[in-house]
A and B are shown apart, each in its own frame.
Chain A
Amino acid sequence: MSRRLADVFAEARSENRAALIGYLPAGFPDRDTCVDLISTMVESGVDAIEVGLPYSDPLMDGAVIQEAVERALIGGTTTDVVLDTVRRVVEAGAVAVVMSYWNPIERYGVQRFAGNLATAGGVGVITPDLTPEEAGPWIEATDAHGIDRIFLVAPSSSDARIATVVASTSGFVYAASTMGVTGARASVSTGAGDLVARTRPHTNLPIAVGLGVSTGKQAAEVAKYADGVIVGSAFIRRVLEASGPNEASASVAALAREMADGVRA
């Protein structure tokens, strides 16, 4: 039986630390290098991987992820390539979820997507622009195929909204640390701690914090109150700034180790 998100968070908890979740878009910087980089991240201490599904209109993403997904799309990254990427990284030992805007999943077919993801070994999907109100068929499909459904809560969410969102969520709750788009920030918003505290009473699920975490120090801070720390743009920037695949791999590994130390601090 392959590992699920619940296992990842339980292991981290048993070690008195937060889980580390890393994001990389499929097909970035190219199909094979993406798989290699994800393996490197896992070997260097990342507990679970978000494989991004590149989309033409990523309105929740900042400049760094926009650049990465644009490259991935130019490189011909289709939904089938994303699912194949999941299959390959799971074979290499990763626990993988997909992060996708809603339209590509709807276009692929919600049942077909959930089914093919399960076949590929993926265990969950994060949908940043889908809220439970619009998710009827998606809830059915993910239940049918045993896929965890990760919805987001935000600092602007009322307590009533938080209750609604977490009631439809499984795997973990994604807490957006700040009002804004993805991308590294000098400091992680203090609102993140408040949001996690407001979310706790409504759920027993693990709560992971994303948006703006780019250093081991920030990861350590977040790990004090959250069950998971999500890092995306910072990994991508390492890849964008590297002169080639080898340098990218070394740089990504170094960042993963720094973050892994952070969640253990």
Chain B
Amino acid sequence: MAVMLETTSAPGHYGPYGGRFVPEALTAALDQLDREFRAAIADEAFTHRLRELERTYTGRPNPLTLARRFGEHCGGATVYLKREDLNHTGSHKINNVLGQALLAERMGKTRLIAETGAGQHGVATATAAALLGLECVVYMGEEDTRRQALNVARMKLLGAEVIPVTTGSRTLKDAINEAMRDWVTTVDQTHYVLGTVTGPAPFPEVVRTFHQVIGREARAQILEAEGRLPDAIVACVGGGSNAMGLFSGFIDDPEVQLRGYEAGGSGVETGRHAARFAAGTPGVLHGARTYVMQDEWGQTVPSHSISAGLDYPGVGPEHAWLHDTGRATYVPINDDEAMEAFRVLCRTEGIIPAIETAHALAGAMRLGRELGPDSIIIVNLSGRGDKDVATAARWFGIDLGSAASDALSVEMAEGR
């Protein structure tokens, strides 16, 4: 039986999760976003324009690649990769950003702001702003501007202003705080392009909706290729947007297992991780009730992960509900296991994945052994690893030649 997701909840809620915990000053803007979003997705001209951009600009549909040699490392399972890494800008993030940028234009807003961790969402937002002729400001934790220096340069090349955030832990969570502060001050002309399925309603629904194209394509592609649904679909979960996009295509197919892999960092037992389901508790962060890494007093606990994109102490509220209802299962993957999967994919398929994505690949390696050689698994290959080359080279002890090391020296200096 399919799990009925929202029928038992108030609008904008997923069971007890989600909702809208924001200053009253933002209520009007969220109401406006909610109205315009619903009008837009019912408007054929809007959806047509978005589909055209997806086709001619993003490069959709992207392929579902059979990963034969990688599958051998997954207990012999048949493993397919949903190639979001082949999208323009290199990850799934562009799906949401194009949708929201068109919404901003529709609302008459001339300025986009965004938070970014690894920089992928910031790059995607800067890209959409350039495409539509909108002003763009990206907030990025100072710590992250150092470990993802190449993405900072990309955003600047695209004409965005990048503001390093020096408050708190100087990472993604603080970038969100700062973006919210900007938004409350400039809301008349500014749209906040939230980058994942978190935040106050309607953001989780808006972002999931614009990523549903991932699941829609994957479902049609697997039926075409195999004539049946997969046994499991897997994705990494930071905020959880790529996972929600893939899951949405299979959520009503109870025979398909949904697996999310969160960052185990140095190991959940060390306290240095971003495992919200393994070690967090329900709470409110950044406008939504969800699983949060927090202490006994409700103070947010800093997260840690080798991947900046999974390094976040909260998670999308719909994931919290999928977790509680048992529809999806969430498992932590430690840094070293993720990096081993990263290495295996490079060597077996000639694909360098993002380190975020490597967590999902590690999950597939575990799950394939569990489900056996007759099983079919789809991995959301959410992003490519160009941005992570310096981190990975350092991890594997690769000696970069002097020219390459000059180009990457900034990242190397502060990277992991």
Chain A residues in contact with chain B, CB under 8 A?
55-60, 62, 66, 70, 73, 78-79, 102-108, 128-131, 133-134, 151-158, 161, 165, 176, 179-181
* Cβ-defined contact, A129 with B184, below 8 A: no
Instruction: Indicate if B48 sits at the interface (CB-CB under 8 A).
Output: no
CA distance A128 to B176 in the complex (A): 17
Contact B180 A59 (CB under 8 A): yes
CB-nearest residue of chain A to B10? A133
- Tell whether, in the assembled complex, residue B28 and residue A156 are in contact, meaning their CB atoms are under 8 Å apart: yes
- Partner of A106 from the list B25, B29, B283 (CB cut-off 8 Å) is B283
Pairwise interchain contact A131-B24, C-beta atoms closer than 8 A? yes
Please determine whether B292 and A131 come into contact, CB atoms closer than 8 angstroms: no
Nearest-neighbor residue (CB-CB) of A82 within chain B: B297
Of A78, A154, A181, the contact of B24 (CB 8 Å cutoff) = A154
A153 in contact with B19 (CB, 8 Å): no
Cβ–Cβ < 8 Å partners of A153 in chain B? 24
**Interface size bracket, B side:** 35 or more
- The answer to whether B24 and A108 have CB atoms under 8 Å apart is no
- Closest 8 pairs between A and B when the two form their complex, measured CB to CB: A107-B298, A154-B25, A104-B298, A156-B28, A180-B185, A103-B284, A56-B300, A103-B298
Q: Which residues of B contact A (CB under 8 A)?
A: 19-29, 167-168, 173-174, 176-177, 180-181, 184-188, 283-287, 292, 294, 296-300
Candidates B25, B286, B300; contact of A155 at CB < 8 Å: B25
Residue of chain A at shortest CB distance from B13: A134
Q: For residue B202, give the distance in angstroms from its CB to the closest CB of chain A.
A: 13
Q: Do the beta carbons of A130 and B297 come within 8 Å of each other?
A: no
| CB-based contact A131/B298 at 8 Å | no
Which residues of B lie under 8 Å from residue A165 when comparing CB positions?
24
Contacts A154-B25, A157-B27, A161-B28 hold; do A179 and B187 have CB atoms under 8 A apart?
yes
A59-B177 contact, Cβ under 8 Å, with A106-B283, A129-B22: yes
* Contact assessment for B298 and A66 in the assembled complex, using a CB-CB cutoff below 8 Å: no
Give A38 Cβ to nearest chain B Cβ, in Å. 21
Point out the residues of chain A lying under 8 angstroms from B287, CB to CB. 129
A–B complex contacts, Cβ < 8 Å, 6 sampled:
A57-B173, A59-B286, A78-B297, A102-B21, A103-B298, A151-B24
How far, in Å, is A98 (CB) from chain B's closest CB? 14
How many Å from the CB of B297 to the closest CB on chain A?
Answer: 5
A79 lies within 8 A of B20 (CB) = no
| Min C-beta distance of B369 to chain A, whole Å | 39
Chain A residues with Cβ under 8 A from B177's Cβ?
57-59
Distance (whole angstroms) from the CB of A162 to the closest CB of chain B: 9
A57–B181 CB distance below 8 A: no
Task: Choose from B19, B23, B167 the contact partner of A154 (Cβ within 8 Å).
Answer: B23
Measured CB to CB, the nearest residue on chain B to A182 is B181
Central interface residue in B26, B174, B292, by most chain A CB within 10 Å: B26
A59 touching B181 in the complex, CB below 8 Å, given contacts A128-B23, A129-B22, A129-B23: yes
CA distance A103 to B25 in the complex (A): 19
Across the interface, do A130 and B21 meet the contact criterion of CB distance under 8 Å? Answer: yes
Q: Which of A57, A103, A157 sits near B168, CB closer than 8 Å?
A: A57
A216 CB → nearest B CB, Å:
26
